[in-house]
Amino acid sequence: MLPPLRAGVAGLGTVGASVLRLLERQRRTLELRTGRAIVVTGVSARSRGRDRGIDLSNAEWHDDPVALARSSDIDLFIELIGGADGPALDSTKVALEAGKSVVTANKAMLAHHGLALAKIAEAKGVGLRFEASVAGGIPIVKTLREGLVGNSIERVYGILNGTCNYIHSRMEAEKISFADCLSAAQKLGYAEADPTFDIGGFDTAHKLAILTSLAFGTAVDAEAVAVEGIESITLDDLQAADDLGYRIKLLGVAKRTPSGIEQRVHPTMVRKSSAIAQIMGVTNAVVVNADAVREMTLAGPGAGGDATASAVVADIADIAKGDRTPGFGLPVASLAPLERAPLQAHQGGYYIRLSLHDRPGAAAAVAMRMAESQISLESIIQRSQPGANADAPVPVTFITHATHEDALRHAVDAVVADGHIAAKPQVIRIERE
């Protein structure tokens, strides 16, 4: 049998503590599957005295994660600190440069520094693994990197943030406002005190940038992701979507197009009959469209200590077995530069909600502007407001057939300039199966 794999864990929060518990609980099974024991010989965290409900007596404590990364008593560095830069990045670099493999759950660090870290790992002949960085316990990284190598992938999209999906699910089911749902998510621990990273779409964007590289063999480019959050979604939008046979989800979408790779994060209308529309609450899901498998959907817990620890431990097992496959599936030098498709060239259907002044010619003017941009309308819904003032604006909803983003935006800008609407238009893209 091989000598034990000596692991150092940096970060002992919810995920770190769960990793230690899972390693102990599965100790014998992991040894049989990998051919060697996995032993935690060092740990690092901000608070030494905190009771985490785990036995750390056999692990050397390091106040500085960089010191743990440099320690000669570990072979594998497990980074669970978080953050794109700072101690997480510093310690990960030190570990790789010292010839130690790294397992991390840090999507922000990978989105911004993943290629540089992968390059160091290749030069040193060690592994860089990050299954837990995207979609928690769902093995989407390994699926794209290894399971689907015989496929040409056309599109990857999914629900990659449980906080946003919880908010939309609860708004739809209980007819309560965005603000009330967000407050509930914070109380339940699904959202941070400052929720901007989640509800603004940035968390999803980091995860999407990683999936794009794995799916299309391109360099990671988080800056190329077009990002819109969910703050503008109202109960009226959710109700209109329901009436039209849709649900609204915050999706991350990466798609191969003639003009390059689209990477976009935004609220999206999906048909209620689709698999992705059935994903409710804090659950995540990823759909892959490819030539051989056609369509594959993976769903499961996208966050939480045990779910994320499951992915971390799977990576640890791969390292223990000696797997040194490049982290992004290809050597860094073989990853193609990302050719960014301009969002203006995106083609698809759209939902448009206008607050239209109830006066002669207003509706005709809107129709004229759509026709000028050669936009064909699939359906129109005008919803009366019980008890509303006779002069109050009327909510009118349009669903378009496939059209280009630039044409749609031009038409909407013209409608605004005409002065027939009382509030900012709501525009939501439709993702067809």
pLDDT of the residue at 109: 98
Region of 132 (left: φ > 0; alpha: ψ -120 to 50; beta: rest) is alpha
**Residue finishing a domain among 107, 133, 159:** 133
Q: Are residues 151 and 282 both part of a single domain?
A: yes
DSSP state of 148: T
pLDDT value, residue 389: 64
β-partners of residue 270 are 247
Over residues 140-151, the mean pLDDT reads 96
Q: What is the pTM of this model?
A: 0.93
∠ CA 426-241-174, nearest 5°, is 105
Q: Which residue has the tokens 């039209």?
A: 244
pLDDT score for 53: 83
Nearest by Cα to 201 from 256, 247, 163, 239: 163
- Whether 24 and 127 share a structural domain: yes
pLDDT of residue 188: 84
Residue ranges making up the domain that contains 17: 5-133
**DSSP string computed for 242-295:** HHTTEEEEEEEEEEEETTEEEEEEEEEEEETTSTGGG--TTEEEEEEEETTTEE
Q: Which tens digits make up the pLDDT trace of 191-244? A: 888 999 999 999 999 999 999 999 999 999 999 999 999 999 999 899 989 988
> Which residue from 367, 391, 389, 379 is spatially nearest to 430, judged by alpha carbons?
379
| Rounded (5°) CA angle 56-58-59 | 70
Q: Does residue 338 form part of some domain?
A: no
**Does residue 7 carry a pLDDT above 60?**
yes
pLDDT, one tens digit per residue, over 100-121 is: 999 999 999 999 999 999 999 9
Residue 63 belongs to a domain? yes
Which amino acid is present at 100?
K
Known catalytic residue at 107: no
Do 233 and 381 sit in the same domain of this protein? no
- List the catalytic residue out of 142, 207, 249, 255: 207
Q: What is the pLDDT of residues 340-397, one digit of tens each?
A: 988 777 888 999 999 988 888 888 888 899 999 999 988 888 766 655 565 778 888 8
pLDDT value of residue 385: 60
Residues 162 and 274 placed together within one structural domain of the fold: yes
156 with 218: CB under 8 angstroms?
no
Nearest to 135 by CA among 325, 310, 332: 310
Q: Which among 118, 133, 148 is the end of a domain?
A: 133
The reply to whether 264 and 158 lie within a common domain is yes
In the chain, % helix, strand, coil (3-state, to 5) comes to 40, 25, 35
Picking from 148-152, 160-164, 417-421, which range would have the lowest pLDDT averaged per residue? 417-421
Q: Based on the fold, state whether residues 281 and 396 are members of the same structural domain.
A: no
Q: Are 144 and 248 in contact (CB under 8 A)?
A: no
Q: Provide the number of structural domains found in the chain.
A: 3
- Helix, strand, or coil here: 324? coil
How far is C-alpha 227 from the geometric centre of its chain's CA atoms? 11
The verdict on 283 and 233 lying in the same domain is yes
* 152 and 236 both lie in a single domain: yes
Same domain, 123 and 152: no
Closest C-alpha among 143, 100, 96, 122 to residue 285: 143
Q: Residue 347 has what pLDDT?
A: 83
Same domain membership, residue 161 and residue 126: no
**Residue 95 domain-assigned (yes or no):** yes
pLDDT of residue 48: 83
Claim to verify: residue 23 and residue 53 sit in the same structural domain = yes
Please return the burial class of 106, using the count of CB atoms within 10 Å of its CB with bins 0-12, 13-18 and 19+.
buried
- Tell me how far CA of residue 421 lies from CA of 108, 193, 351, 354, 405, in angstroms: 40, 35, 16, 7, 21
Q: What angle do CA 240, 243, 244 make, to 5 degrees?
A: 90
| 387 and 287 together in one domain | no
Q: Residue 256 sits in a domain of what CATH number?
A: 3.30.360.10
